[in-house]
Amino acid sequence: MERLRLEQVSKTFGSHLAVDSLSLSVQAGEIFGLLGANGAGKTTTMRMVLNILKPDQGQIYWKGKPSYESLRKLTGYLPEERGLYPKIKVSEQILYMAKLRGISRTDAEKSLKYWLERFQVLQYYDMKVEELSKGNQQKIQFIAAVIHRPEILVLDEAFSGLDPVNVELLKDSVKDLRDQGTAVLFSTHRMEHVEELCSNICILHRSKAVLKGNLKELKQKYPRERVQLKTASPVEGLERVKGVLQVQSTENGYDIRIADEASAQQLLSLAMSQTNVIKFEVKEPSMNEIFIKAVGGEKNE
């Protein structure tokens, strides 16, 4: 079920075109990756989704409607720049934000307790935000974004600045919310998170969508151009195989770039003829590579 749809949305600030006719659609129970270099237009897109900014052109549909009367209840937002009242107790400000979202106090209280417990920080209920560590503040910020069970959740760099344990904790929470049917619009610079979480992505570059679609399908469209090879002893003459572009010796063996997939089999037989092959893999392109390719070799921002 479609939760969010952008149709040919454009936004201009003065003479600067921040978002250029962007279209995308996010389903319930889906994490949609909105990717792009800094200044590509991600934040502007998110602000339009949250109705903080109005698009100059195009139309946004929330649950199929071009305007939604209680958007503040429908959407949740974790901004890239963290922001909480430093001198106010955790419980007070979360309950305040819940109240602004139109949630009853008892519901908010229950929900807050649930999340604090889940993040193992129940003892912070009565503490001021400035007394918490950065990672814990981020958990509180996350709770502020989801306290009212939004159907559309916008996460801008949700996991930055967290240690690996806490990243897992938050990632699991995002996955849970997805499984409960939340539509998540997710932005990050960490491509491994995209691979792990997102089913569909859109890469923005200089205000335009340069690549869009299902992550698996996109990967299949990209040729498999990398071979990873691990052998018992060194292999001679890998460079001379037809179609090989570059051979790199690594600690684990060889990292080989090829022009087309056919060369892979020749590499394998060459290696097998000389020594024992421990590992051989024709790798699909990583999200990192796809991103760099999409955004282009040209030096950008």
Partner 1 sequence: MNELAAVMSFTLKNKLKSKAFIVTTVIIGLLIAVFVHLPLIIEAFSSEEPDRVGMTEDESGLAVQLKQYFEQQSNPAIEIVILPQQGTAAADLAQAREEIESGELKGYLQLSDDNRQEEHAFPSFVFHSKGTMEFSIRSSLERALQAIKMEQMVDELGLSRQQIAALTSPVSIQNVQITSEAKEGRSETEVVIAYILVYAFLIILFMAVAMYGNMIASEVTAEKSSRVMEVLISTVSPVKQMFGKIFGTCILGMLQLAVFIIIALAGLSLPYNRAALSGLNLNLSDIPFSLFAYFVIFYLLGFFLYGTVFAAIGSIVSRTEDLGQALMPITLLILAGFYIGLFGLNAPNAGWISAVSYFPFFTPLLMFMRIGMTEPPFWQIGLSILIMLASILLMGWLAAKIYRTGVLMYGKRPRWKELWKAMRSTQ
User: Which residues lie near partner 1 (CB under 8 A)?
Assistant: 12-14, 47, 50-54, 56, 72, 75, 77, 79, 81-88, 92, 96-97, 99-102, 141, 144-145
Conformation bin of residue 139: beta by default, left when phi > 0, alpha when psi is -120 to 50: alpha
Task: Give yes or no for a contact between 203 and 32, defined as CB atoms under 8 angstroms apart.
Answer: no
Could you tell me the two tokens for 273?
Answer: 């003829």
Q: Which is nearer to partner 1, 83 or 234 (CB)?
A: 83
Q: Which is nearer to partner 1, 74 or 267 (CB)?
A: 74
Residue type, 28: A
Q: How far is the CB of 262 from partner 1 (least distance, A)?
A: 52
Q: Which is nearer to partner 1, 144 or 235 (CB)?
A: 144
- Angle, nearest 10°, between helix axes 105-118 and 90-100? 130
Q: How far is the CB of 77 from partner 1 (least distance, A)?
A: 4
Q: Which is nearer to partner 1, 75 or 173 (CB)?
A: 75
Q: Which long-range contacts (CB under 8 A, 24 or more apart) does 254-263 make?
A: 254/227, 254/228, 254/229, 254/230, 255/226, 255/227, 255/228, 256/226, 256/227, 256/228, 256/229, 257/225, 257/226, 257/227, 258/225, 258/226, 258/227, 259/225, 260/223, 260/225, 261/223, 261/224
Q: How far is the CB of 47 from partner 1 (least distance, A)?
A: 8
Q: How far is the CB of 83 from partner 1 (least distance, A)?
A: 3
Q: How far is the CB of 205 from partner 1 (least distance, A)?
A: 22
Residue type, 82: R
Q: Which is nearer to partner 1, 101 or 193 (CB)?
A: 101
How far apart CA 261 and CA 277 sit, in angstroms, is 19
Q: Which is nearer to partner 1, 54 or 299 (CB)?
A: 54
Residues whose CB falls within 8 Å of the CB of residue 256, separated by 6 or more in sequence, listed in order? 226, 227, 228, 229, 238, 244, 246, 247, 248, 267
- Angle, nearest 10°, between helix axes 134-146 and 164-179? 10
Q: Which is nearer to partner 1, 148 or 205 (CB)?
A: 148
Q: Which is nearer to partner 1, 64 or 86 (CB)?
A: 86
Q: How far is the CB of 165 from partner 1 (least distance, A)?
A: 25
Q: How far is the CB of 43 from partner 1 (least distance, A)?
A: 10
Q: How far is the CB of 261 from partner 1 (least distance, A)?
A: 46
How far apart CA 239 and CA 270 sit, in angstroms, is 11
